[in-house]
Amino acid sequence: MALHVSVGFVLALLVLALAAPAPAATRTWGGGGGDNNASTPGNWVGGVAPSNGDDIVLDATSSKNMTWDAAAPSNVASWTQVSYQGTATVATVYLEAGQGTFTNFIIAGNCAISNGVWTHLSNAGASDRRWYRLRVTVGGDFILGSNAAITAVGIGYRAQSGPGYPGSHGGQLAQTYVSSLAAANTYGSVTAPIEPGSGGYWGGSNDADGGGAVHVVVAGTATIVGTINVRAKNSGAANGAGGSIFGVAGSVSGSGTLDACAVQGSVGGGGGRIAIVATNSASWGSVVLKAYGGPSGPGAAGTIYKESTAHTPGRGILVIDNNNYADVNLLHPETLPVGEYGQ
């Protein structure tokens, strides 16, 4: 029996084949390119840069630092970082005019960071504006291992800038070298903090940049065993303010640390802000949360907000803890949300 196939049918099949999305691939960081950008094909094993929906692997193949730049895909299937000793910088920006569109890095599945570091770009050259922060949305589970860290130390508002200049954010600066500079008011949200810490002033090379900002949303379980650190820059007599950490997850486990302190040994910068929200759980594991002011002075403590299914949204537990420093400058003039607050 002869089989007759029309030209139209063949063309239709060809169109469907061309229109079908390419299957997701696994892309492994090789570091062989001439820069650090994730969008550079030569930086990946096989010479092919990732596409939207690919699985991303950083391992012992290369510990070259990476920048996940705006030209790289904003949506990947998964992220696995194991035996990688470098730093991955995610170039997400605030949603403000003229700052680009890469405002959120989406990982549709699981994200596991067992080794190495995540960070965002520095705001030091951002003309006194907030420009960069780390904002990531994870559709599955998130793991930050004991040998891994997310760090945004000293990459917030640059010295002598920011809405809390000099040296305030969640808590106020205690003292400054220039007597004509009074401590600024605090700023930012208690329940959903996203602001960098403001810079300080002490003169010359001792000027201090504030801490950066980390915002991570996880649909599943966030297991935090490593450290998320948004302290101010350590520059001797530094008095920059701590940054912000805003974490939302279905559930939270682990015994890691979230740190939004002013620098230990600094001259009284204010602490930053932390909020941790568990949307499907009544606890936050054993994660340590701290937002101390600088101990010399001391600077005022920042704010720590905790919310779980045991609370009405926006009415969780507010903690203000300055590590037993003799805080004579505990000033928080902002208006808190209506609700009951524990300690």
Question: What whole-number distance in Å separates Cα of residue 16 and Cα of residue 34?
Answer: 38
Cα(73)–Cα(105) distance, integer angstroms: 8
Q: Which pLDDT does position 338 carry in this prediction?
A: 42
Inter-CA distances, 57 with 28, 136, 143, 283, Å: 5, 17, 14, 31
Query: Between 225 and 182, whose confidence is greater?
Result: 225
Best CA proximity match to 325, nearest among 289, 299, 291: 299
Per-residue pLDDT at 178 exceeds 90 = no
Query: pLDDT by residue (tens digit) across 46-97?
Result: 999 999 999 999 999 999 999 999 999 999 999 999 999 999 999 999 998 6
Q: What is the pLDDT of residue 340?
A: 42
The pTM for the full model equals 0.89
Place of tokens 């050259």: 125
Pairing of strands 257-259, 273-278: unpaired
Q: Work out the widest C-alpha separation in the chain, in whole angstroms.
A: 99
